[in-house]
Structure 1
Amino acid sequence: MSEKRWIDQGSYDKLQAELKTLTEEKRPEIARKIDEARQDGDLKENGAYHAARDEQSMNETRIAQLEELLRNCEVGEIPEDNGVVSPGMVVEAKVGPRDMKFLLGMREASEDMDLEVYSPQAPLGKAILGAKVGDTVPYTAPTGRKFDVKILSVTPFQG
Protein backbone atom coordinates (compact mmCIF):
# COMPACT_ATOMS: atom_id res chain seq x y z
CA MET A 1 0.00 0.00 0.00
CA SER A 2 1.32 3.44 -0.92
CA GLU A 3 1.75 6.31 1.52
CA LYS A 4 -0.73 9.16 1.24
CA ARG A 5 0.68 12.18 -0.57
CA TRP A 6 -0.45 15.75 -0.04
CA ILE A 7 -2.14 17.58 -2.90
CA ASP A 8 -4.00 20.88 -2.95
CA GLN A 9 -7.65 21.02 -3.97
CA GLY A 10 -6.96 22.72 -7.32
CA SER A 11 -4.50 20.03 -8.39
CA TYR A 12 -6.86 17.29 -7.22
CA ASP A 13 -9.68 18.81 -9.29
CA LYS A 14 -7.39 19.03 -12.34
CA LEU A 15 -6.45 15.34 -12.07
CA GLN A 16 -10.11 14.37 -11.57
CA ALA A 17 -11.05 16.33 -14.71
CA GLU A 18 -8.31 14.61 -16.72
CA LEU A 19 -9.53 11.20 -15.51
CA LYS A 20 -13.10 12.04 -16.46
CA THR A 21 -12.03 13.15 -19.96
CA LEU A 22 -9.99 10.00 -20.51
CA THR A 23 -12.73 7.63 -19.33
CA GLU A 24 -15.84 9.37 -20.66
CA GLU A 25 -14.58 10.89 -23.91
CA LYS A 26 -11.27 9.40 -25.01
CA ARG A 27 -12.02 5.75 -24.12
CA PRO A 28 -15.24 5.59 -26.26
CA GLU A 29 -13.52 7.48 -29.10
CA ILE A 30 -10.67 4.95 -29.17
CA ALA A 31 -13.13 2.03 -29.01
CA ARG A 32 -14.91 3.51 -32.05
CA LYS A 33 -11.58 3.78 -33.93
CA ILE A 34 -10.75 0.15 -33.12
CA ASP A 35 -14.18 -1.02 -34.27
CA GLU A 36 -13.90 0.93 -37.54
CA ALA A 37 -10.41 -0.44 -38.19
CA ARG A 38 -11.60 -4.02 -37.49
CA GLN A 39 -14.17 -3.66 -40.24
CA ASP A 40 -11.35 -3.05 -42.73
CA GLY A 41 -10.42 -6.74 -42.65
CA ASP A 42 -7.05 -8.40 -42.01
CA LEU A 43 -5.84 -7.14 -38.63
CA LYS A 44 -2.23 -8.30 -39.07
CA GLU A 45 -1.44 -5.60 -41.58
CA ASN A 46 -4.00 -3.01 -40.53
CA GLY A 47 -2.04 0.08 -39.48
CA ALA A 48 -5.12 1.98 -38.28
CA TYR A 49 -6.07 -0.92 -36.01
CA HIS A 50 -2.60 -1.18 -34.48
CA ALA A 51 -2.36 2.59 -34.01
CA ALA A 52 -5.75 2.63 -32.26
CA ARG A 53 -4.72 -0.30 -30.03
CA ASP A 54 -1.50 1.55 -29.09
CA GLU A 55 -3.54 4.66 -28.30
CA GLN A 56 -5.88 2.52 -26.20
CA SER A 57 -2.96 1.06 -24.27
CA MET A 58 -1.52 4.50 -23.50
CA ASN A 59 -4.94 5.83 -22.47
CA GLU A 60 -5.63 2.89 -20.16
CA THR A 61 -2.16 3.22 -18.62
CA ARG A 62 -2.79 6.92 -17.86
CA ILE A 63 -6.22 6.09 -16.42
CA ALA A 64 -4.63 3.53 -14.10
CA GLN A 65 -1.96 6.06 -13.05
CA LEU A 66 -4.56 8.72 -12.29
CA GLU A 67 -6.75 6.30 -10.35
CA GLU A 68 -3.74 5.26 -8.26
CA LEU A 69 -2.70 8.88 -7.67
CA LEU A 70 -6.16 9.96 -6.64
CA ARG A 71 -6.65 6.91 -4.42
CA ASN A 72 -3.38 7.60 -2.60
CA CYS A 73 -3.50 11.33 -2.10
CA GLU A 74 -4.61 13.45 0.77
CA VAL A 75 -6.35 16.64 -0.27
CA GLY A 76 -5.12 19.24 2.13
CA GLU A 77 -5.87 22.73 3.08
CA ILE A 78 -3.15 25.30 2.66
CA PRO A 79 -0.97 24.79 5.74
CA GLU A 80 -0.50 27.35 8.48
CA ASP A 81 2.15 29.98 7.80
CA ASN A 82 4.37 28.95 10.70
CA GLY A 83 7.79 28.72 9.02
CA VAL A 84 7.92 24.93 9.32
CA VAL A 85 8.54 22.77 6.24
CA SER A 86 5.49 20.58 5.64
CA PRO A 87 3.50 19.37 2.62
CA GLY A 88 1.87 22.29 0.85
CA MET A 89 4.67 24.73 1.62
CA VAL A 90 6.86 26.60 -0.86
CA VAL A 91 10.43 26.27 0.33
CA GLU A 92 13.39 28.46 -0.54
CA ALA A 93 16.61 26.74 0.43
CA LYS A 94 20.31 26.68 -0.25
CA VAL A 95 21.12 23.07 -1.18
CA GLY A 96 24.89 22.90 -1.15
CA PRO A 97 25.96 25.73 -3.49
CA ARG A 98 22.59 25.94 -5.26
CA ASP A 99 19.64 28.17 -4.38
CA MET A 100 16.33 26.39 -4.92
CA LYS A 101 12.64 27.27 -4.66
CA PHE A 102 10.09 24.46 -4.79
CA LEU A 103 6.76 23.18 -3.54
CA LEU A 104 6.71 20.23 -1.20
CA GLY A 105 3.75 18.26 -2.57
CA MET A 106 2.66 15.86 -5.32
CA ARG A 107 4.88 15.99 -8.40
CA GLU A 108 2.22 14.49 -10.64
CA ALA A 109 -0.02 17.52 -10.17
CA SER A 110 2.60 20.06 -11.16
CA GLU A 111 2.37 20.14 -14.97
CA ASP A 112 1.15 23.74 -15.24
CA MET A 113 3.32 25.21 -12.49
CA ASP A 114 6.39 27.37 -12.93
CA LEU A 115 7.65 25.85 -9.70
CA GLU A 116 9.54 22.62 -9.17
CA VAL A 117 7.73 20.13 -6.95
CA TYR A 118 9.37 17.65 -4.60
CA SER A 119 7.46 14.89 -2.88
CA PRO A 120 7.67 14.73 0.91
CA GLN A 121 8.67 11.07 0.34
CA ALA A 122 11.60 12.03 -1.94
CA PRO A 123 15.05 12.10 -0.33
CA LEU A 124 15.15 15.92 -0.24
CA GLY A 125 11.58 16.10 1.07
CA LYS A 126 12.34 13.62 3.85
CA ALA A 127 15.51 15.52 4.80
CA ILE A 128 13.79 18.88 5.26
CA LEU A 129 10.37 17.82 6.56
CA GLY A 130 9.80 19.55 9.90
CA ALA A 131 12.76 21.93 9.53
CA LYS A 132 12.24 25.61 10.33
CA VAL A 133 13.44 28.80 8.67
CA GLY A 134 17.11 29.23 9.56
CA ASP A 135 17.72 25.50 10.15
CA THR A 136 20.51 23.68 8.35
CA VAL A 137 19.90 19.97 7.84
CA PRO A 138 22.03 17.23 6.26
CA TYR A 139 20.88 15.73 2.97
CA THR A 140 22.26 12.79 1.04
CA ALA A 141 21.34 12.96 -2.64
CA PRO A 142 20.36 9.79 -4.51
CA THR A 143 23.85 9.89 -6.06
CA GLY A 144 25.37 9.54 -2.57
CA ARG A 145 26.68 13.12 -2.41
CA LYS A 146 26.11 14.83 0.91
CA PHE A 147 24.91 18.42 1.18
CA ASP A 148 23.84 20.83 3.86
CA VAL A 149 20.41 22.34 3.22
CA LYS A 150 19.78 25.76 4.76
CA ILE A 151 16.09 26.68 4.92
CA LEU A 152 15.78 30.32 3.82
CA SER A 153 12.00 30.73 3.73
CA VAL A 154 8.85 28.65 4.03
CA THR A 155 5.47 29.96 2.87
CA PRO A 156 2.10 28.33 2.19
CA PHE A 157 1.44 27.43 -1.44
CA GLN A 158 -1.06 29.78 -3.08
CA GLY A 159 -2.05 27.67 -6.12
Structure 2
Amino acid sequence: MNKVPLTVTGANKLREELDELKSVVRPRIIAAIAEAREHGDLKENAEYHAAREQQSFTEGRIAEIEAKLSNANIIDVTKMDANGKVIFGATVEIEDLDTEKVVTYQIVGEDEANIKEGRISVGSPIARALIGKEVEDVVTVKAPGGDVEYEILSIKYI
Protein backbone atom coordinates (compact mmCIF):
# COMPACT_ATOMS: atom_id res chain seq x y z
CA MET A 1 0.00 0.00 0.00
CA ASN A 2 1.23 3.51 -0.79
CA LYS A 3 2.41 5.78 2.00
CA VAL A 4 0.03 8.69 2.55
CA PRO A 5 1.52 12.08 3.51
CA LEU A 6 0.43 13.40 6.88
CA THR A 7 1.57 16.43 8.86
CA VAL A 8 2.83 16.04 12.42
CA THR A 9 -0.28 17.89 13.67
CA GLY A 10 -2.58 15.61 11.68
CA ALA A 11 -0.84 12.49 13.01
CA ASN A 12 -1.12 13.80 16.58
CA LYS A 13 -4.86 14.47 16.14
CA LEU A 14 -5.38 10.93 14.86
CA ARG A 15 -3.40 9.50 17.79
CA GLU A 16 -5.48 11.56 20.25
CA GLU A 17 -8.72 10.32 18.68
CA LEU A 18 -7.45 6.74 18.76
CA ASP A 19 -6.50 7.06 22.43
CA GLU A 20 -9.93 8.55 23.24
CA LEU A 21 -11.71 5.73 21.41
CA LYS A 22 -9.66 3.00 23.10
CA SER A 23 -9.50 4.38 26.64
CA VAL A 24 -12.85 6.18 27.03
CA VAL A 25 -15.40 5.24 24.36
CA ARG A 26 -14.68 1.50 24.13
CA PRO A 27 -14.97 0.87 27.93
CA ARG A 28 -18.17 2.95 28.06
CA ILE A 29 -19.73 0.84 25.28
CA ILE A 30 -18.66 -2.42 26.94
CA ALA A 31 -20.33 -1.25 30.17
CA ALA A 32 -23.50 -0.30 28.25
CA ILE A 33 -23.64 -3.74 26.60
CA ALA A 34 -23.17 -5.47 29.96
CA GLU A 35 -25.94 -3.35 31.51
CA ALA A 36 -28.30 -4.01 28.59
CA ARG A 37 -27.66 -7.77 28.87
CA GLU A 38 -28.82 -7.67 32.47
CA HIS A 39 -32.24 -6.48 31.28
CA GLY A 40 -33.00 -9.89 29.83
CA ASP A 41 -34.28 -10.88 26.38
CA LEU A 42 -31.72 -9.57 23.85
CA LYS A 43 -34.00 -9.99 20.83
CA GLU A 44 -36.27 -7.14 21.91
CA ASN A 45 -33.70 -5.10 23.80
CA ALA A 46 -33.21 -1.80 21.94
CA GLU A 47 -30.49 -0.63 24.35
CA TYR A 48 -28.46 -3.75 23.62
CA HIS A 49 -28.78 -3.38 19.85
CA ALA A 50 -27.91 0.32 19.99
CA ALA A 51 -24.82 -0.39 22.10
CA ARG A 52 -23.72 -3.18 19.74
CA GLU A 53 -24.16 -0.86 16.74
CA GLN A 54 -22.12 1.83 18.48
CA GLN A 55 -19.47 -0.77 19.31
CA SER A 56 -19.30 -1.81 15.65
CA PHE A 57 -18.89 1.79 14.51
CA THR A 58 -16.21 2.48 17.15
CA GLU A 59 -14.21 -0.65 16.34
CA GLY A 60 -14.38 0.25 12.64
CA ARG A 61 -13.09 3.76 13.35
CA ILE A 62 -10.26 2.37 15.52
CA ALA A 63 -9.22 0.03 12.68
CA GLU A 64 -9.43 2.90 10.17
CA ILE A 65 -7.22 5.21 12.26
CA GLU A 66 -4.69 2.44 12.94
CA ALA A 67 -4.49 1.71 9.20
CA LYS A 68 -4.02 5.41 8.38
CA LEU A 69 -1.24 5.78 10.94
CA SER A 70 0.52 2.61 9.79
CA ASN A 71 0.46 3.81 6.17
CA ALA A 72 1.36 7.41 6.99
CA ASN A 73 4.46 9.20 5.84
CA ILE A 74 4.61 11.78 8.63
CA ILE A 75 6.28 14.94 7.38
CA ASP A 76 7.60 17.62 9.74
CA VAL A 77 7.80 20.71 7.54
CA THR A 78 9.79 22.61 10.20
CA LYS A 79 12.71 20.21 9.70
CA MET A 80 12.79 20.35 5.91
CA ASP A 81 14.93 22.58 3.71
CA ALA A 82 12.41 23.97 1.22
CA ASN A 83 14.61 26.75 -0.19
CA GLY A 84 11.67 29.17 -0.17
CA LYS A 85 9.44 26.91 -2.25
CA VAL A 86 5.92 25.69 -1.52
CA ILE A 87 6.08 22.13 -0.21
CA PHE A 88 3.76 19.73 1.57
CA GLY A 89 2.88 21.14 4.99
CA ALA A 90 3.69 24.75 4.06
CA THR A 91 1.26 27.54 4.87
CA VAL A 92 0.79 29.76 1.83
CA GLU A 93 -0.82 33.18 1.60
CA ILE A 94 -2.17 33.84 -1.90
CA GLU A 95 -4.06 36.65 -3.59
CA ASP A 96 -6.67 36.18 -6.30
CA LEU A 97 -5.47 38.64 -8.97
CA ASP A 98 -9.00 39.30 -10.26
CA THR A 99 -10.79 39.92 -6.96
CA GLU A 100 -7.75 40.90 -4.86
CA LYS A 101 -9.06 38.52 -2.17
CA VAL A 102 -6.27 37.17 0.04
CA VAL A 103 -6.52 33.68 1.56
CA THR A 104 -4.15 31.50 3.54
CA TYR A 105 -3.98 27.74 3.13
CA GLN A 106 -1.87 25.01 4.65
CA ILE A 107 -1.19 22.14 2.26
CA VAL A 108 -1.95 18.89 4.09
CA GLY A 109 -2.81 15.24 3.48
CA GLU A 110 -6.21 14.19 2.17
CA ASP A 111 -7.45 13.06 5.59
CA GLU A 112 -6.53 16.37 7.22
CA ALA A 113 -8.08 18.70 4.65
CA ASN A 114 -10.72 21.10 5.96
CA ILE A 115 -11.35 24.20 3.86
CA LYS A 116 -13.12 25.99 6.73
CA GLU A 117 -9.93 25.70 8.79
CA GLY A 118 -7.72 26.74 5.87
CA ARG A 119 -6.26 23.29 5.21
CA ILE A 120 -6.34 22.02 1.62
CA SER A 121 -5.44 18.59 0.31
CA VAL A 122 -2.12 18.18 -1.44
CA GLY A 123 -4.13 16.66 -4.31
CA SER A 124 -6.40 19.70 -4.76
CA PRO A 125 -6.01 21.83 -7.91
CA ILE A 126 -4.79 24.86 -5.92
CA ALA A 127 -2.20 22.84 -3.98
CA ARG A 128 -0.95 21.11 -7.13
CA ALA A 129 -0.50 24.51 -8.79
CA LEU A 130 1.35 25.93 -5.77
CA ILE A 131 3.79 23.08 -5.09
CA GLY A 132 7.33 24.02 -6.08
CA LYS A 133 6.55 27.72 -6.57
CA GLU A 134 8.09 30.69 -4.71
CA VAL A 135 6.92 34.03 -3.27
CA GLU A 136 5.76 36.45 -6.02
CA ASP A 137 5.17 33.60 -8.49
CA VAL A 138 1.81 33.70 -10.27
CA VAL A 139 -0.02 30.39 -10.66
CA THR A 140 -3.04 29.55 -12.76
CA VAL A 141 -5.61 27.20 -11.29
CA LYS A 142 -8.18 25.50 -13.47
CA ALA A 143 -11.52 26.06 -11.73
CA PRO A 144 -15.05 25.09 -12.80
CA GLY A 145 -15.78 28.75 -13.57
CA GLY A 146 -12.61 29.18 -15.60
CA ASP A 147 -8.93 29.78 -14.90
CA VAL A 148 -8.06 31.75 -11.77
CA GLU A 149 -4.69 33.41 -11.26
CA TYR A 150 -3.12 33.68 -7.81
CA GLU A 151 0.02 35.42 -6.67
CA ILE A 152 1.97 33.87 -3.81
CA LEU A 153 2.41 36.53 -1.10
CA SER A 154 4.15 34.47 1.59
CA ILE A 155 5.21 30.95 2.51
CA LYS A 156 5.60 29.75 6.10
CA TYR A 157 6.89 26.44 7.38
CA ILE A 158 5.20 26.00 10.76
- TM-score, length-scaled by structure 2: 0.79
Q: Is the 8 A contact 1:7 1:73 kept in 2?
A: no
Secondary structure of 1:84's partner?
Answer: coil
**Aligned residues with identical type, % of pairs:** 33
Query: Which residue does the alignment assign to 1:53?
Result: 52
Structure 2 CA distance for aligned equivalents of residues 118 and 110 of structure 1: 5
Query: Which residue does the alignment assign to 1:100?
Result: 103
Which ranges in structure 1 are unaligned for 5 or more consecutive residues? none
Question: What whole-Å deviation, never above 9, does each CA across 1:16-38 have from its counterpart, x for those lacking one?
Answer: 13212212332232123113212
Q: Is the 8 A contact 2:113 2:120 kept in 1?
A: no
Structure 1 CA distance for aligned equivalents of residues 157 and 64 of structure 2: 27
Structure 2 CA distance for aligned equivalents of residues 153 and 27 of structure 1: 44
Query: Which residue does the alignment assign to 1:5?
Result: 5
Counterpart residue identity of residue 140, structure 1: K
Q: Which has the higher helix share?
A: 2
Structure 2 CA distance for aligned equivalents of residues 65 and 100 of structure 1: 32
Structure 2 CA distance for aligned equivalents of residues 71 and 119 of structure 1: 20
Q: Please, what is the CA RMSD of the aligned residues?
A: 2.6
Query: Which residue does the alignment assign to 1:120?
Result: 122
Q: CA deviation at 1:110?
A: 7.2
Secondary structure of 2:39's partner?
Answer: coil
Q: CA deviation at 1:86?
A: 0.5
Would you say 1:76 and 2:75 are equivalent positions? yes
Work out the number of aligned pairs and report it. 153
Structure 1 CA distance for aligned equivalents of residues 126 and 135 of structure 2: 16
Query: Which residue does the alignment assign to 1:156?
Result: 157
Which ranges in structure 2 are unaligned for 5 or more consecutive residues? none
Structure 1 CA distance for aligned equivalents of residues 61 and 131 of structure 2: 30
Q: CA deviation at 1:81?
A: 6.0
- TM-score, length-scaled by structure 1: 0.78
Structure 2 CA distance for aligned equivalents of residues 11 and 4 of structure 1: 12
Query: Which residue does the alignment assign to 2:14?
Result: 15
Q: CA deviation at 1:47?
A: 2.3
Moved over 3 A (4+): 79-82, 106-111
Query: Which residue does the alignment assign to 1:135?
Result: 137
